[in-house]
Amino acid sequence: MSVHLSRAEEEGLDGKFGDSISIAYKLLLSIGKATDAERLIPVDWVHLSGVNYNTIGDAGANFLTKYSEEARFSVQTTINPMGYDSHKKNNLSSKFKKKQGEIIKAYGNMGSVPSFSCTPYELFQLPERGHNVSFAESNAAVMANSVFDLHTNKESALSALASAVTGKAPYSDLRISNIRDPKIKIKIDTDLESELDYGLLGYFAGKAVNESCVSFGPYVRNIDMYKTKSLAAALGTSGACGMFSNKEIDAEAISFGKEEAKSIMDELHSNESGDVIALGSPQLGSYELELISNMIGDKKFSKKCMIFCARPIYEKACKSGIAQKLESAGANIICDACTCLSPLLTKDEYDGVITNSIKAAHYLNKSNKVSVCLSSIKSILKEYAK
Amino acid sequence: MQSEDGLNFSLRCKVIVGGSASGRILITKQPINFLSSVDHLTGMITDNNHELFGKSLKNSLLVFPYAVGSSVGAYSIFALKSNGVSPSGIICTSKTDITTASGCAIANIPLLEIPKDQDIDKIKNYSKATIDGSSGTLEIKKV
């Protein structure tokens, strides 16, 4: 099956509107072939990954600098976190800051909103339910599909870039309604209490399932935002699955019990403690900041603590006094960046990182090569807030 | 469709990104997270939970099911190519994912998909193979 392009799309592919648009259509066409799309459809909003220099490196930075000379975004385009908080001091090299600056400039030239957040769904007005968006950040794609009924595939940084330039995406996979009906389910044979438990479930499901949508049944109904984000981020990290559902279906079931949860802990819990607490992967929202500030009360962190959130969330927390409360407990609240793949968390500086995020644990272990102590927020505060 | 002439055999595949390539087969049944499991400067698989741990992607024909995890994996594929350590061609054995398709498209790495009805158990590591991206043929020399 081949992808049918309109006349204007064909002309775009052939270079009539410039190289950048031609490259974007070439990308969309390859993705369309891979996912058996019949045509392209418009998207209302694009969210890009590939902003942190730590993740895309020189090859990505150089590509973006060149691409941005001509390319311009045609729909609202928000972007993922970068490497650090430019309002705060850090020990990063001047090379890192220079390359990070080039990336930010390239995205800015193309017309992105400087959101520096992996939780755009908490910061911007959402399109109506059922509308198509193109979200590259994996937790945001899973959240969009599963919680907000915005339709997106689990986009790549480059597929979303192509959609930002053209305003289009291949009509395939999770953009098609019957694919959004789960055909496989995870049967939960253990108690799920903390946000960490939901993260373990998500990470397990991502590995176990290669369908695009999975059902967890009633276990994911009415769970709070911390648990939902933890589940979505972990699912997006370990697998190719881009959506979960609470529909009860009569289908093949894979069991998630104590043993399965333990196998994930065995893989990612690589240290019994650590010298820094890192919270926020995905970045924390107002709900989680308030929860943590209520839990900590008058106590103080006994270890260095970094809390990552989007800048508008931080500003809101400053107005309500929650930020000051967390800071007086010893937390360093960092905006525009995220625990996941942060250059601020290196093995040269830290022997171990304490976190409740499965997604952070994956990348800290495997990319940053820093060992991780995985623990729920309740246990972290019990142990390290005195 | 599959043809065999004694020592060699070929598989007819779907072409996602065209072009020709040759190299030695590097095959795995495990998905790959190109961001967290591969060193972009050396092309080595650095995830000790992966069955290709310690192997190099450089100049290989990588046969694997699909990419998982980070959406930035597409840039990782591009970085491997820019650094001269990418596979010379990639073959997906399951449904080709968006990360692999877009990464290969931007990096000009030929990408094929083996249809589900083809027998992939015959493909062995380190066999010499070529991709013909115009006809969609993967030719493998038995070792």
Which pLDDT tens digit goes with each residue over B74-86?
999 999 999 999 9
Q: Do A361 and A296 reside in the same domain of the chain?
A: yes
Interface membership of A267 toward B (CB under 8 Å) = yes
Which of B35, B72, B98 is nearest residue A31 as measured by Cβ atoms? B98
Whether A59 and B74 lie within 8 Å, measured CB to CB: no
pLDDT of residue B5 exceeding 70: no
Instruction: Assess if residue A2 is contained within a domain.
Output: no
CA angle A109/A115/A116 to nearest 5° reads 95
pLDDT of residue B95 exceeding 90: no
Interface membership of A30 toward B (CB under 8 Å) = yes
Q: Do A18 and A154 reside in the same domain of the chain?
A: yes
CATH of the domain at A117: 3.30.499
Tell me if A53 sits within 8 A of A99, measured CB to CB: yes
Q: Of A265, A287, A306, which closes a domain?
A: A265
Mean predicted confidence (pLDDT) in B20-31: 96
What is the gyration radius of the CA atoms in chain B, in angstroms? 14
Which of A27, A157, A210 is nearest residue B94 as measured by Cβ atoms? A210
Which of B37, B74, B102 is nearest residue A366 as measured by Cβ atoms? B37
Tell me if A126 sits within 8 A of A148, measured CB to CB: yes
Give the pLDDT band of residue B125 (cuts 50, 70, 90): confident
Residue B134: the pLDDT is: 86
Give A-chain residues touching B33 at CB under 8 angstroms: 237, 366
Whether B36 and A363 lie within 8 Å, measured CB to CB: yes
Residue B4: the pLDDT is: 56
Instruction: Assess if residue A121 is contained within a domain.
Output: yes
Q: Do A140 and A12 reside in the same domain of the chain?
A: yes
| Token pair in block for residue B18 | 């065209």
> What pTM does this model have?
0.96
Q: Do A39 and A106 reside in the same domain of the chain?
A: yes
Which of B71, B78, B102 is nearest residue A60 as measured by Cβ atoms? B78
Instruction: Assess if residue A279 is contained within a domain.
Output: yes
Q: Do A120 and A223 reside in the same domain of the chain?
A: no
**Quick one: which of A202, A201, A208, A204 has its CA closest to A184?**
A208
Whether A60 and B79 lie within 8 Å, measured CB to CB: yes
Whether B71 and A136 lie within 8 Å, measured CB to CB: yes
Q: Do A119 and A229 reside in the same domain of the chain?
A: no
Burial class (CB in 10 A: 0-12, 13-18, 19+), A313: buried
Q: Do A238 and A256 reside in the same domain of the chain?
A: yes
What mean pLDDT is reported for chain B?
Answer: 92
Residue A156: the pLDDT is: 97
CATH of the domain at A315: 3.30.499.10
- Strand B111-113, strand B128-132: pairing: unpaired
Whether A34 and B95 lie within 8 Å, measured CB to CB: yes
Burial class (CB in 10 A: 0-12, 13-18, 19+), A143: buried
**Quick one: which of B138, B133, B111 has its CA closest to B20?**
B133
Q: What ipTM was assigned to the predicted interfaces of this complex?
A: 0.94
Give the pLDDT band of residue B6 (cuts 50, 70, 90): low
Instruction: Assess if residue A206 is contained within a domain.
Output: yes
Question: How many angstroms separate the CA of residue B58 from the nearest CA in chain A?
Answer: 17
Residue A146: the pLDDT is: 98
Nearest CA in chain B to A203: B69
Mutate to test the interface with A, among B90, B95, B98, B109 (most CBs of A within 10 A): B98
Q: Do A11 and A146 reside in the same domain of the chain?
A: yes
Q: Which of A:40-79 have CB within 8 Å of B?
A: 49-50, 55-60, 62-63
Mutate to test the interface with A, among B30, B46, B66, B70 (most CBs of A within 10 A): B70
pLDDT mean by block of 10 residues, chain A; 386 residues:
92 98 98 97 98 97 98 98 96 96 98 98 98 98 98 98 98 98 97 97 97 95 96 97 96 96 98 97 98 97 98 98 98 96 93 98 95 98 97
Q: Do A83 and A195 reside in the same domain of the chain?
A: no
Cα–Cα distance measured from residue A60 to residue A4, given in angstroms and rounded to the nearest whole number:
30
Q: Do A223 and A297 reside in the same domain of the chain?
A: no
Nearest CA in chain B to A266: B49
Q: Do A293 and A366 reside in the same domain of the chain?
A: yes
Which pLDDT tens digit goes with each residue over A174-230?
999 999 999 999 999 999 999 999 999 999 999 999 999 999 999 899 999 999 999
Interface membership of A136 toward B (CB under 8 Å) = yes
Give B-chain residues touching A158 at CB under 8 angstroms: 74-75, 78, 102-103, 105-106
Residue B1: the pLDDT is: 45
Residue B35: the pLDDT is: 94
Instruction: Assess if residue A1 is contained within a domain.
Output: no
User: In whole angstroms, how far apart are CA B7 and each of A348, B10, B128?
Assistant: 52, 11, 12
Q: Of A209, A232, A265, which closes a domain?
A: A265
Superfamily for the B2-141 domain: Phosphohistidine domain (3.50.30.10)
Domain tally for chain A? 3
| Token pair in block for residue A28 | 């969309």
Interface membership of A263 toward B (CB under 8 Å) = no
Whether B96 and A35 lie within 8 Å, measured CB to CB: yes
Residue A1: the pLDDT is: 60
Give B-chain residues touching A366 at CB under 8 angstroms: 33, 36-37, 46-47
Residue B8: the pLDDT is: 84
Q: Which helix (H) or strand (E) holds B21?
A: strand B20-27
Q: Do A55 and A161 reside in the same domain of the chain?
A: yes
Sign of CA dihedral A107, A113, A115, A119: negative
Give A-chain residues touching B71 at CB under 8 angstroms: 49-50, 136-138, 141, 154-157, 160
Q: What is the domain partition of chain B in residue ranges?
A: 2-141
Residue B3: the pLDDT is: 53
What domain range is A171 assigned to? 7-176
